[in-house]
Amino acid sequence: MLAADGPPLESERDATDLIGEALGAGAELVVIPAARLSGDFFRLSTRKAGLFIQKFTNYRVRLAILGDIEARIAASDALADFVRESNKGEAVWFVTDEAALEAKLG
């Protein structure tokens, strides 16, 4: 689980760095606080979320975005659809808090 404080994450390089750290530590899941992701990440037209998430999928490392993104979802039907579909799978989850994450893992 990444700390809430730190530089914003958004690039494929950021994803690759996190995956390398996760694999080195034997982790199968990376949890990123939503506050650490740049605003562009949540604007799907930038493709940043897709490219970032695709890296995790390619390396078979699960990803959880932790935090309240309801305002962003309310502002974008495309993002709402993306989050809903992601949460149906096992590779990428958007969860509001640690209790929701534990329920997904449970």
Q: What is the pLDDT of residue 45?
A: 95
Spans of the chain, pLDDT less than 70: none
Q: What is the pLDDT of residue 19?
A: 98
Cα–Cα distance between 87 and 80 in angstroms, integer?
11
Q: What is the pLDDT of residue 3?
A: 96
Residues 6+ apart with CB under 8 A from 76: 42, 43, 44
pLDDT in tens, 44-53: 999 999 999 9
Q: What is the pLDDT of residue 10?
A: 86
Asked if 66 and 32 touch (Cβ cutoff 8 Å), the reply is: yes
Asked if 58 and 23 touch (Cβ cutoff 8 Å), the reply is: no
Q: What is the pLDDT of residue 106?
A: 87
For residue 41, what is the DSSP state?
A: G
pLDDT in tens, 28-37: 999 999 999 9
